[in-house]
């Protein structure tokens, strides 16, 4: 799952500010590999919500046992993890194995912190290309995904039925907007999403931006303007609430969970909450402007092996990585982390066990990495102007075209 604390913040890409982050240093002997005793390997991940007794904590420990060593696991918030990784590597004190949010990979590669999977002779042949693409820089993979998640549209069956809307009729933007109007006329609410001024806002806007055929290298293209105009028309006409400007993905879900909304844009990580919502729901892919499924951004973490002074440590680190990405453990990530596996074989088993994952497997298959296509560390310098443009347009400060013109100018300078 990728709630607020799990999404990349733009500050991670600012490698030039490394010196100013020294107060956040975690590169002490207590957590870095240089302080590891014989038979002890360090492992960092962004899951502070999971302690040693959790299924995830036990899995990491078991992979260490299987490799014949003890794993010393330390969990940090995603942003804190990125900062500490940069500093620990600078001090020659990086962990042996590290799990990071996929957009962070390119930042760490830029700092020469990570080994390639080919150098480590790790087999990635079964991993879906679009999923591993989020951790690929200059055609080299620098980690292996333990799973992926993304966005789709949850819908309330009762609300749509009362409004006379068949969810199967939602195939493009026009049919979705028509459905929202019918729902509003029936006395209910249309769609809720997150347009907050953080990476979450960009993450949620990307399916509509890409679904219009726009590219991140040209934020203010007519296609990009069409996407922002769609969101603006929804908020102006009462088809989406004004508070999307403050909504995180969590608060947006809470709105949908009231049972008053027809649609809620959210992710795989809300499946458990959906089952507890108290009403029948369904899931459809986010439609492209003129039909088909819109490309959606890939969420999820990559297991990586940081560069070590003692290269002899890599052999055991590889065993830990191989254990974590085994079919059995990838399948277990379905319930532990609410992830879609990165391989088609495990995906098929996931859907067999949990049919409700079917739409999510389809969505992940159409997903794109935010840093893919050669963007790498440039992505945060594009994302921040983009979410700023969304805020400016939806608040009425600027027209969608003006907002995206300003965003493109800022991105170009970045």
- Return per-residue pLDDT of the chain as tens, 414 residues: 444 334 433 334 333 332 222 222 233 333 444 444 469 999 999 999 899 999 999 999 999 999 999 999 999 987 789 889 999 988 989 999 999 988 889 989 999 999 999 999 999 999 999 999 999 998 999 999 999 999 999 999 999 999 999 999 999 999 999 999 999 999 999 999 999 999 999 999 999 999 999 999 999 999 999 999 999 999 999 999 999 999 999 999 999 999 999 999 999 989 889 999 999 999 999 999 999 999 999 989 999 999 999 999 999 999 999 999 999 999 887 666 788 999 999 999 999 998 888 989 988 988 999 988 888 889 989 999 999 999 999 999 999 999 999 999 999 987
The pLDDT of residue 21? 26
Q: Which of 13, 2, 10, 6 is nearest to 386 (CA)?
A: 10
Instruction: Give 162's contacts (C-beta < 8 A, 6+ positions apart).
Output: 186, 188
Beta strands in 13-138 (DSSP E): 40-45, 70-75, 97-101, 136-137
Q: What is the pLDDT of residue 209?
A: 98
Domain pair 4-148+298-365 / 151-296+375-413, same fold: yes
151-296+375-413 belongs to CATH 3.40.190.10:
yes
Sketch the domain layout of the chain as residue ranges. 4-148+298-365, 151-296+375-413
**Pick from 184, 228, 192, 235: nearest CA to 208:** 228
Cα 263–chain centre separation: 20
Q: Output the pLDDT for position 32.
A: 45
**354: helix, strand or coil:** coil
Taking the alpha carbons at both ends of the chain, their separation in whole angstroms is 29
Separation between Cα atoms, residue 390 and residue 252, nearest integer Å: 16
Q: Which fold has domain 4-148+298-365?
A: D-Maltodextrin-Binding Protein; domain 2 (3.40.190)
pTM greater than the 0.85 cutoff: no
**Structure confidence at residue 374 (pLDDT):** 84
DSSP state, residue 54: S
What pLDDT does 366 receive? 84
């Amino acid at each position: 799952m990728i709630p607020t604390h799990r999404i990349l913040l733009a500050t991670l890409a600012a490698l030039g500010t490394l010196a100013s982050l020294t107060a956040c240093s975690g590169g002490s002997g207590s957590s870095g590999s240089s302080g590891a005793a014989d038979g002890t390997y360090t492992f960092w991940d962004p899951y502070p919500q999971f302690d040693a007794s959790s299924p995830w904590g036990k899995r990491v420990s078991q992979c260490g046992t299987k490799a014949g060593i003890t794993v010393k696991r330390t969990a940090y918030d995603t942003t804190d993890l990125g900062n500490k990784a940069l500093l620990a590597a600078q001090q020659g004190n990086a962990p042996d194995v590290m799990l990071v949010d996929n957009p962070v990979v390119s930042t760490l590669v830029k700092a020469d912190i990570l080994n390639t999977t080919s150098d480590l002779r790790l087999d990635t042949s079964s991993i879906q290309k679009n999923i591993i693409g989020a951790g690929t820089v200059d055609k080299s993979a620098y980690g292996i995904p333990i799973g992926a998640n993304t966005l789709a549209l949850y819908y309330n069956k009762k609300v749509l039925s009362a409004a006379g809307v068949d969810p199967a009729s939602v195939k493009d933007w026009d049919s979705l907007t028509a459905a929202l109007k019918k729902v509003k006329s029936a006395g209910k609410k249309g769609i809720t999403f997150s347009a907050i001024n953080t990476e979450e806002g960009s993450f949620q806007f990307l399916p509509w931006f890409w679904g219009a055929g726009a590219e991140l290298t040209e934020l203010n293209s007519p296609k990009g303007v069409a996407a922002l105009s769609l969101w603006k028309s929804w908020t102006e006409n009462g088809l989406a609430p004004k508070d999307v400007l403050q909504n995180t993905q969590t608060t947006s879900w809470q709105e949908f969970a009231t049972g008053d909304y027809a649609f809620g844009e959210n992710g795989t990580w809300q499946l458990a909450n959906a089952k507890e919502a108290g009403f029948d729901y369904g899931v459809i892919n986010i439609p492209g402007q003129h039909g088909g499924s819109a490309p959606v951004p890939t969420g999820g973490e990559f297991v990586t092996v940081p560069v070590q002074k003692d290269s002899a440590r890599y052999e055991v680190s590889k065993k830990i990585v191989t254990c974590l990405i085994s079919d059995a453990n990838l399948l277990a990530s379905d319930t532990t982390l609410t992830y879609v596996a990165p391989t088609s074989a495990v995906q098929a088993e996931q859907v067999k066990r949990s049919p409700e994952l079917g739409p999510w497997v389809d969505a992940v298959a159409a997903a794109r990495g935010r840093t893919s296509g050669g963007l790498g560390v440039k992505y945060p310098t594009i994302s921040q102007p983009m979410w700023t443009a969304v805020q400016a347009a939806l608040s009425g400060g600027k027209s969608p075209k003006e907002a995206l013109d300003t965003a493109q100018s800022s991105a170009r300078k970045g």
